[in-house]
Amino acid sequence: MAELNAGDPIAELRVTPDKYTPHRYAGASGDFNPIHIDPEFAKAVGLPNTILHGLYMMGLVARTATEAAGGDPRSLKRLSVEFRGMGAPETEIAVTGTVKAVEDGRATIDVVAAQGDNETIKNAEAEVEL
């Protein structure tokens, strides 16, 4: 069982998605929106290049929160996020978090996902069972 206390930082996750991660995530998830996989399309709609799927980054946040709770996928009970910035492939993502409260065998964790100063997921809150 994971030991979490209010105020504790959780173990951070650092991942660098490669150039083709959005293609693999598109296949895995079924979301083939061309802004994620077609550089010409992405540029035509005003983006700098293809961008990561927000739900892929939310998947990394879910992974980080689950691992903080000991790794059993059943332990993640709720996750809410705000998508604030666009994520780029081939750039490191850091997922960090702090335990906000622990009550009745459940911990609430505040989480952020960022690429450098660009916070792609903000105000994320995970509720995990301990």
Binding site for other proteins (CB under 8 A): 15, 21, 24-25, 27-31, 54-56, 58-60, 62-63, 66, 71-74, 76-83
Q: Smaller CB distance to other proteins: residue 7 or 20?
A: 20
- How far does Cα 39 stand from its chain's mean position? 23
Q: How many C-beta atoms lie closer than 10 Å to residue 36's C-beta?
A: 23
Smallest gap from residue 49 Cβ to other proteins (A): 17
Question: Is the CB of residue 65 less than 8 Å from the CB of residue 10?
Answer: yes
- What is residue 119's three-state secondary structure? strand
Question: Any idea what DSSP says for residue 71?
Answer: S
Smallest gap from residue 61 Cβ to other proteins (A): 9
CA distance 117 to 53: 19
Smallest gap from residue 116 Cβ to other proteins (A): 20
Smallest gap from residue 93 Cβ to other proteins (A): 11
Q: Smaller CB distance to other proteins: residue 1 or 7?
A: 1
Q: Smaller CB distance to other proteins: residue 82 or 92?
A: 82
Q: Smaller CB distance to other proteins: residue 25 or 68?
A: 25
What sign for the dihedral angle of Cα 22, 13, 98, 10? positive
